[in-house]
Amino acid sequence: MLTPENDQTEIMRRQSEYTPPRSVSHWLIGRPLSTADAPHQTIGKAIGLAVFASDALSSTAYATQEIMVILAVAGTMAFGYVFPISVAIVVLMAIVTISYEQTIHAYPGGGGAYIVARDNFGELPAQIAGAALLTDYILTVAVSVSAGVAQIVSAYPQFFPYRVWISVAAVFMVMLINLRGVKESGIAFSIPTYFFIVMLFMTVGTGIFRYATGTLGVVIDPPHLEIESVLSTITPFLILHAFSSGTAALTGIEAISNGITAFKEPRSRNAGITLLWMAGILATLFLSISFLSTHIGAVPSETETVISQLGRTVFGGRGVLYLMVISATTVILIMAANTAFADFPRLSALAAKDGFLPRQLTFRGSRLVFSNGIVTLSIIASILIIIFKASVSLLIPLYAIGVFLSFTLSQTGMARRWWKIGHLKEGEEVVEPGSILRYNQGWRFKMLINGFGGLCTAIVMIIFAVTKFREGAWVVLIIIPALVKIFFTIHHHYKDLAAHLTLDKFSGLPARQTRHRVILPVSGIHQGALEALRYAKLLSDDVTAVHVSIDPEETEKVQKKWKTWGEGTRLVILDSPFRLFLEPVLGYIEEIVDKRQANETITIVVPQFIPSKRWHNALHMRTADYLRQELLSKPGVVVTDVPYHAFEKKE
């Protein structure tokens, strides 16, 4: 039923009664959720820890080993530096955690480093942070899954030749779970996450007890230590190199600040507490594993992980407890990719909303998650796994530099935010896109915390870039600028398109005599839509514009603009609770066709945007193409395309 909007006949609203039918996808990812279900899909602290902390917690399974891999070139005596290096990393972890806890409360809308950099430094630093984080999330999936499969290979060496395809299969398994929605995937991941925490604490607790009682012993039949060249002395560069490798333990610290909106109210408080829980568990496990590994004589190896050696030493062989540790570690490492699956789609949607990535990434799928972002992440991560043959040691050098770049931009951005707050008067308020600035008496202390955090992470980033340059860090130093260039190319296209479609300084279209009954689907009110309206009114006096309401804010903008530019033409709004476009429009047209008079022709005028360059098609939904294909099969309906051509501005 159509109902007038605010007692006005020119704008009407209609609730779509279409319900998506059952399909194969329902068995894989669940039934579609209505937009009204969104508030019920938020998560609490316990599930939030499983969703956003699995990446950080899982790094305890390989961070110690990465330190040992670097120190191994100086011989096993150098392993004595593993624990002191781990302590230094935990100190850095504490600094970063305190800094991000402030970020969570300052930016309750989420977005992390991207939003902080955008609001305090501008578009270029924001896109650098975005490129660094998106790269990090892709590598998180590749590294975590590869490390998880490495645990399987440690326990069952016969699977070593198949590790790449096992890894790819694991990526797509995590993808399917995430397509089911944040709440449901969080519940699924909470069990293996807490199982991992319990088993690791049991392992290190037993190990420390046996060390204290003198019954710990050493690794029996350790793997062969493969060293291509041996250094005669332990150099400062080697220590810094090992330190930079171990900082993989900090990856994932920022994840909670990016996904605050997934938490239940009060969001900032719940997210902040979850961050502190995560940091405490991570620091305890990391230090314990590093301490025990050096005392049992563990050896870094591609064929058997340090966790495997620790497990069979602590529990006296490959018994049930050992297999439980390996199983828990394998699952958490694979599930650690879930952190990236939770944050990559959110961040890419923010960048797409700002016009720096294709608009398709802003689309929420049937389960209220950014489905296109999830699928994109799965494909890119799988390609990386295949290229690097699921080797953790080959992927790690590409990993942490992007993390520390985003850390640095986030913390220095927060320091600038506190500086701006300190220069406000009491009671004064400044509204920024990501937050509201109000005077705070403790701004100097908070600025000092974030500034010191930014300085520390900048130093670590430089150390990482220098020590890991030859091992592959140079690739990231090329990829991030290349991504930023791509982002701005996309942004230029969207800005140019907006300039062509804007109604600013537009004098309006000339009135025309019309005929025929015309239905005009419109997604937004701009020059292209008004060109289509002008053509529709040339055909008939009976013109009905149809807008499918998916986003209430966007619909409100459409209504306001239609009152100004619609020339009194009737606008029917079709409410679509499942965020579907084609089905509500087709259902409405079918009703019109069924009730049409004899010899009456229904004309559907479809606005069609034609980009100036062919590759620009990939940046648009191309909904008009799908609508036209569906309408062409409807008897008694004439479909007319009204193309609107955009041309690139000449510099």
pLDDT in tens, 201-223: 999 999 999 999 999 989 888 88
Q: Which of 600, 596, 608, 610 is nearest to 640 (CA)?
A: 608
Number of other residues whose CB lies within 10 A of the CB of residue 214: 7
Locate tokens 């908070």: which residue?
Answer: 446
| Mean predicted confidence (pLDDT) in 320-340 | 86
d(CA 602, CA 592): 8
Is residue 457 within a helix (H) or strand (E), and if so which, with residue range? helix 443-467
What local confidence, expressed as pLDDT, does residue 560 receive?
92
What would you measure as the largest C-alpha separation in the chain, in angstroms? 98
pLDDT > 50? residue 651:
no
Phi, psi of 167 (to 5 degrees): -65, -45
Among 336-350, 513-527, 614-628, the minimum mean pLDDT is found in 614-628
pLDDT in tens, 547-600: 999 888 889 999 999 999 999 999 999 998 888 888 888 889 888 888 887 777
| Mean predicted confidence (pLDDT) in 318-328 | 90
pLDDT > 60? residue 186:
yes
Rounded to a whole number of angstroms, the CA Rg of the chain reads 28
What local confidence, expressed as pLDDT, does residue 84 receive?
94
Judge: domain 2-16+506-645, CATH 3.40.50.620: yes
Q: Calculate what percentage of the chain has a pLDDT beyond 70.
A: 93
Here the tokens at position 405 are 């770049």
d(CA 200, CA 307): 9
What 8-state DSSP symbol labels residue 308?
H
pLDDT in tens, 73-100: 877 788 889 999 999 999 999 998 998 8
d(CA 196, CA 200): 6
Here the tokens at position 129 are 């942070």
What is the CA 463 to chain-centroid distance, rounded?
27
On whether the CB atoms of residues 447 and 99 are closer than 8 A, the answer is: no
Here the tokens at position 476 are 């990231």
Here the tokens at position 60 are 């305890």
Domain with CATH 1.20.1740.10 in the chain: 39-391
What local confidence, expressed as pLDDT, does residue 466 receive?
83
| Mean predicted confidence (pLDDT) in 226-250 | 78
Q: Calculate what percentage of the chain has a pLDDT beyond 90.
A: 34
| Mean predicted confidence (pLDDT) in 431-448 | 89
What local confidence, expressed as pLDDT, does residue 6 receive?
61
Give bridge partners of residue 13 from the DSSP assignment.
3, 573
Give bridge partners of residue 14 from the DSSP assignment.
2, 574
Q: Mean pLDDT in the chain?
A: 85
The SS3 call for residue 388 is: coil
On whether the CB atoms of residues 218 and 313 are closer than 8 A, the answer is: yes
What local confidence, expressed as pLDDT, does residue 514 receive?
46
Return all residues near 534 (Cβ < 8 A) that are at least 6 apart.
Answer: 509, 510, 512
Return all residues near 565 (Cβ < 8 A) that are at least 6 apart.
Answer: 503, 508, 525, 530
pLDDT in tens, 335-369: 778 888 888 998 999 999 999 999 999 988 777 78
d(CA 635, CA 172): 42
pLDDT in tens, 241-293: 888 888 878 888 888 888 888 888 888 999 999 999 999 999 999 999 999 99
d(CA 493, CA 490): 5
On whether the CB atoms of residues 121 and 113 are closer than 8 A, the answer is: no
With bands split at pLDDT 50, 70 and 90, how would you rate the model's confidence at 463?
confident
pLDDT > 60? residue 513:
no
Q: Which of 127, 176, 168, 129 is nearest to 146 (CA)?
A: 168
Number of other residues whose CB lies within 10 A of the CB of residue 328: 25
The SS3 call for residue 428 is: coil
**Beta-strand relationship, 602-610 and 517-521:** parallel
Domain with CATH 3.40.50.620 in the chain: 2-16+506-645
CATH number for the 39-391 domain, one of 1.20.1740.10, 3.90.1150.150, 3.30.70.270, 3.40.50.720? Answer: 1.20.1740.10
